[in-house]
Chains A and B, each alone.
With several copies, the nearest count.
Chain A
Amino acid sequence: MIQLTHTPIDFAALTESVRSTQAGAVVLFLGTVREMTQGRQTVALDYDAYPEMAEAKLKELEAEARARWPVIEAGIVHRLGHLELGDVSVAVAVSCPHRHQAFDAGRFLIDRLKEVVPIWKKENWSDGSTEWVHPGTGEAAELSG
């Protein structure tokens, strides 16, 4: 399942959806909104996306993972909009016959998601300022998850 959502992510349901009697291993990754980043305090994040392309890229990533590992089921859900501290921003679930396959596929999916899927976060710092996080622009470093 590939999904962008403005409501809280039901990671338990996502995990259930990838379980299978063909799989010996399930790996779930959650990205959650962390309070402290290099000494600065976050109070909230806002996520924006280019939805059509983001969904297309997520489907491509799932296909790439299936080509590289014996993935039984996979699901990726990314939340958009305003997130508070501790909220789940992204959930990646994958099942494979063996555990190292599931760990490798799960890590691949979240690593690549952060590189190629057109989604952006804006920091709401505790001093009241806001700042888009755009790695490599020299304006803000890649700080999350």
Chain B
Amino acid sequence: MKTVLKLFARARDLAGSPALELDLPDSATAADLRIALGERVPALEPILSSLLIAVGNDYAAPTTPVAGRTDLAVFPPVSGG
């Protein structure tokens, strides 16, 4: 399924883009998304394991379904304040 995600901060810089579109199996979870993202954008490898995944305005668990969503975001640990 067509799945759209935004990228922020160093993840955006490494990917060279603020957004990506992936084709994921219907059963894909956030854990699957992380693997697919590493394959699609090898430059993300140094920070891949620490990337956070959000569905809408909530952080996803590894088991959260993500296939077909267009409101995903992927970014490194936050540093506001």
Number of CB contacts from chain A to chain B under 8 A: 92
Evaluate contact between A89 and B81: CB separation under 8 angstroms.
Answer: yes
Say how far B71's CB is from chain A's closest CB, in angstroms: 9
| Most-contacted residue by chain B among A47, A90, A134 (CB, 10 A) | A134
A125 at the interface (CB under 8 A from B): no
> Are B79 and A56 interface neighbours, CB within 8 A?
no
State whether A137 touches B81 (Cβ < 8 A): no
A114 close to chain B: CB less than 8 A: yes
Q: How far is the CA of A78 from the CA of B8 in the complex (A)?
A: 17
Bound CA–CA A94/B34 (angstroms) = 38
Cβ of B69 within 8 Å of any chain A Cβ, yes or no, is no
Q: Which of A110-145 contact B (CB under 8 A)?
A: 110, 113-122, 132-139, 142, 144-145
Give the size category of A's interface with B.
35 or more
Contact A135 B54 (CB under 8 A): no
Chain B residues numbered 27-54 whose CB sits less than 8 Å from any CB in chain A:
46-47, 50, 52, 54
Contact B76 A50 (CB under 8 A): no
Contact indicator A117/B75 (Cβ below 8 Å): no
Q: How far is B50's CA from A15's CA once the two chains are assembled, in angstroms?
A: 36
CB–CB B13/A132 < 8 A: yes
A44-62 interface with B by 8 A CB criterion = 47-50, 52-54, 56-57
Residues of A within 8 A of B (CB): 31, 47-50, 52-54, 56-57, 78, 89-90, 99, 110, 113-122, 132-139, 142, 144-145
The chain B residues found within 8 Å of chain A, CB to CB, are 6, 8-10, 13, 46-47, 50, 52, 54, 56-57, 59, 73, 75-81
